[in-house]
Amino acid sequence: MDGFEFRDGRLWAESVAIEEIVGEVGTPVFVYSAETIREHLARLSEAFSPLSPQLRFSVKSCPNLSILKLVLDTGAGLDLVSGGELHRAIAAGADPAQCVFAGVGKTDTEIDAALAAGVGLFNVESGEELATLTSRCEALGRSARAALRINPEVEPGTHRHTATGRRATKFGVDLAEAAAIFKGHDHRSPLRLVGLHLHIGSPIATPAPYLDAIDKALSLRDDLRKAGCTIEVLDLGGGFAADYTTGQAPPAKAYAERFLPRLAPAVAEGLEIILEPGRSIVANAGILLVRVVFTKNSGGRRFAICDAGMNALIRPSHYDAFHFIWPARVGEHWVPPRREAAPPLEDLEVVDVVGPLCETGDYLALDRALPPLARGEVLAVFTAGAYGMSMANRYNSSPLPAEVLVDGDRWRLIRARESYDDLLEHERPARLARALPSPPLSTSCP
Ligand code: LLP
């Protein structure tokens, strides 16, 4: 389910016409559907309810404060991976006790901030990090709980940039190292090592790789129990797929049905389960709207050059990701029946949908069959709610896009479009002076 559909050839977000938003806010703009986010969270909770999991929404997928508030209002907590995300979580009103803090390279400053805030669970990724966290707990007189991220060495079947649970990635530690770390941890220390954390990659379109990883985690739990270490928490991370192409993503219950038989006995013994979904909640809840600036033919190809490309949505060029793209207003005979690369419609034209940046890799789609496009037309790029705005950048001095949240027949701006002045803000003398008073220029330099 998502809140975006064509009615009489015009695209709507829930009960708001896209044209209305573009008319007021302009392009590029990300538009999110509140109801879709709530619905996806509810379906996930429902599917996994026999395991009573704690949901920790992955902030990195869509960190806008209004989106986080919406998620928090459903009762979920947050999955954080940096001091910046902790800052955001607190600003959004999250209870730090309902947050998990992962990340392979937490600095002492970030660790101290998370300890001071009272983050509920640290997902630590190495023996050195565990030792550092323990000593920061002692130094600050704080106690905390941690889970150790393990690398289960499974094949998640996803893009190489986002496959984390394969052997020899930088994430977590292998099973032998994990056992050694657990056995070496002083269980009287103020840092209680209580759990195992997994996040094997993203997106993962079948339950099978999770099952391999869960089996390995449960067997490690048994071994550790024999050695006197109790595992109270199993955090399964995120990674569930989203519907980039209609019907592509298994529903939450397809994952849950396969997980339940394996996990139910351990849960009955008191094991707490954590899930850290991001993409499966927000990807289909967001679209990116861009405007065609020019069209042209060159070298045997047709191009639609838009007012944003990989600066707003880097996924096509960085991960070869497919995002369905369609004009926000079309004749009735061009309403797409499904979101797929080549919908079964007449008179489509094959076009490269590209951005304005000075790189050949700056595209949103290549060889895409679309209704003939004209200058000024608005295109909707679907399934852009996850890792869209959160990975947007200012390359070519492009101001970051605006963000809008639709809820029923109401909509509001949730992030203003950056201005050109915003681009200069951190380079202004007054800002620099506040950051680091510059020493007088040395006269002794040659
Ligand atoms: N937990 C941890 C520890 C993670 O590293 C991630 C995502 C998640 C949870 C949430 O995973 P999700 O449910 O969203 O799949 N930029 C890439 C995706 C990178 C995912 C990074 N980690 C993309 O656009 O495909």
Kindly state the percentage of the chain with pLDDT values over 70: 98
Q: What is the pLDDT of residue 158?
A: 81
Give residue 168 CA to ligand 1 midpoint distance, Å: 18
User: Quick check: 170 pLDDT over 90?
Assistant: no
Question: Does residue 271 sit in the same domain as residue 138?
Answer: yes
The structural domain count of the chain equals: 2
Residue 42 lies in a domain: no
Across the chain, mean pLDDT equals 95
Q: What is the pLDDT of residue 174?
A: 93
Which of 34, 27, 95, 28 lies closest to 64 in space, CA to CA?
34
Of the pLDDT bands very low, low, confident and very high (cuts 50, 70, 90), residue 445 is low
Write the pLDDT tens digit of every residue in 25-54. Answer: 999 999 999 999 999 999 999 999 999 999
Ligand 1: does its nearest atom lie under 6 Å from the Cβ of 279?
yes
Count other Cβ atoms within 10 Å, centred on residue 51.
20
Ligand 1: does its nearest atom lie under 6 Å from the Cβ of 280?
yes
Atom of ligand 1 nearest to the CA of 202: 15
Q: What is the pLDDT of residue 156?
A: 74
Integer Cα distance of 104 and 125 in angstroms: 6
Integer Cα distance of 400 and 26 in angstroms: 13
Helix (H) or strand (E) holding 252: helix 252-268
What residue owns the CA closest to ligand 1's atom 6? 238
Ligand 1: does its nearest atom lie under 6 Å from the Cβ of 203?
yes
The answer to whether the beta carbons of residues 350 and 302 sit under 8 Å apart is yes
Q: What is the pLDDT of residue 362?
A: 98
Atom of ligand 1 nearest to the CA of 103: 3
Ligand 1: does its nearest atom lie under 6 Å from the Cβ of 14?
no
Question: Does residue 53 sit in the same domain as residue 24?
Answer: no
In 154-260 the beta strands, taken as DSSP E runs, fall at 191-197, 233-235
Of the pLDDT bands very low, low, confident and very high (cuts 50, 70, 90), residue 173 is very high
Question: Does residue 211 sit in the same domain as residue 271?
Answer: yes
Q: What is the pLDDT of residue 25?
A: 98
Q: What is the pLDDT of residue 161?
A: 85
Residue 433 lies in a domain: no
Residue 83 lies in a domain: yes
Q: What is the pLDDT of residue 297?
A: 98
Write the pLDDT tens digit of every residue in 126-149. Answer: 999 999 999 999 999 999 999 999
| CATH number of the domain where residue 311 is located | 2.40.37.10
Of the pLDDT bands very low, low, confident and very high (cuts 50, 70, 90), residue 155 is confident
What angle, 0 to 180 degrees and rounded to 10, lies between the N-to-C axes of helices 65-73 and 83-91? 60
Q: Which of 58, 234, 391 to mutate to test the pocket of ligand 1 (most atoms within 8 A of CB)?
A: 58
Question: Does residue 123 sit in the same domain as residue 219?
Answer: yes
Structural domain range at position 12: 4-31+283-425
Atom of ligand 1 nearest to the CA of 279: 14
Choosing from 277, 300, 325, the residue where a domain stops is 277
Give residue 238 CA to ligand 1 midpoint distance, Å: 6
Ligand 1: does its nearest atom lie under 6 Å from the Cβ of 162?
yes
Give residue 278 CA to ligand 1 midpoint distance, Å: 7
Helix (H) or strand (E) holding 261: helix 252-268
Which of 108, 92, 66, 200 lies closest to 78 in space, CA to CA?
92
Query: What is residue 40's three-state secondary structure?
Result: helix
Write the pLDDT tens digit of every residue in 297-347. Answer: 999 999 999 999 999 999 999 999 999 999 999 999 999 999 999 999 999
| CATH number of the domain where residue 152 is located | 3.20.20.10
What residue owns the CA closest to ligand 1's atom 8? 238
Residue 444 lies in a domain: no
Integer Cα distance of 2 and 282 in angstroms: 10
Choosing from 221, 245, 277, the residue where a domain stops is 277
Ligand 1: does its nearest atom lie under 6 Å from the Cβ of 323?
no
Q: Which of 279, 288, 320 to mutate to test the pocket of ligand 1 (most atoms within 8 A of CB)?
A: 279
User: Quick check: 7 pLDDT over 70?
Assistant: yes
Question: Does residue 333 sit in the same domain as residue 261?
Answer: no
Question: Does residue 294 sit in the same domain as residue 404?
Answer: yes
Question: Does residue 257 sit in the same domain as residue 287?
Answer: no
Which of 314, 306, 293 lies closest to 355 in space, CA to CA?
306
User: Quick check: 439 pLDDT over 70?
Assistant: no
Atom of ligand 1 nearest to the CA of 387: 24
**What is the token pair recorded at 431?**
């800002």
Ligand 1: does its nearest atom lie under 6 Å from the Cβ of 149?
no
Query: What is residue 351's three-state secondary structure?
Result: strand
Of the pLDDT bands very low, low, confident and very high (cuts 50, 70, 90), residue 182 is very high
Q: What is the mean pLDDT of residues 201-211?
A: 92
Atom of ligand 1 nearest to the CA of 277: 13
Active-site annotation holder among 229, 306, 358, 445: 358
Choosing from 243, 277, 311, the residue where a domain stops is 277
Question: Does residue 370 sit in the same domain as residue 258?
Answer: no
User: Quick check: 444 pLDDT over 60?
Assistant: no
Q: What is the pLDDT of residue 403?
A: 99
Question: Does residue 75 sit in the same domain as residue 27?
Answer: no
Active site residue 306: no
Q: What letter represents residue 222's amino acid? A: D
Ligand 1: does its nearest atom lie under 6 Å from the Cβ of 276?
yes
Question: Does residue 325 sit in the same domain as residue 414?
Answer: yes
Residue 171 lies in a domain: yes
Kindly state the percentage of the chain with pLDDT values over 90: 91
Strands 144-149 and 4-7: unpaired
Integer Cα distance of 17 and 15 in angstroms: 7
Question: Does residue 25 sit in the same domain as residue 68?
Answer: no
Ligand 1: does its nearest atom lie under 6 Å from the Cβ of 277?
yes
Give residue 115 CA to ligand 1 midpoint distance, Å: 24
The answer to whether the beta carbons of residues 362 and 310 sit under 8 Å apart is yes
Q: What is the DSSP letter of 113?
A: H
Ligand 1: does its nearest atom lie under 6 Å from the Cβ of 388?
no
Q: What is the mean pLDDT of residues 205-226?
A: 95
Residue 302 lies in a domain: yes
**What is the token pair recorded at 338?**
């499904």
Atom of ligand 1 nearest to the CA of 102: 3
Ligand 1: does its nearest atom lie under 6 Å from the Cβ of 158?
no
Integer Cα distance of 388 and 404 in angstroms: 13
Question: Does residue 331 sit in the same domain as residue 421?
Answer: yes
Q: What is the pLDDT of residue 441?
A: 60
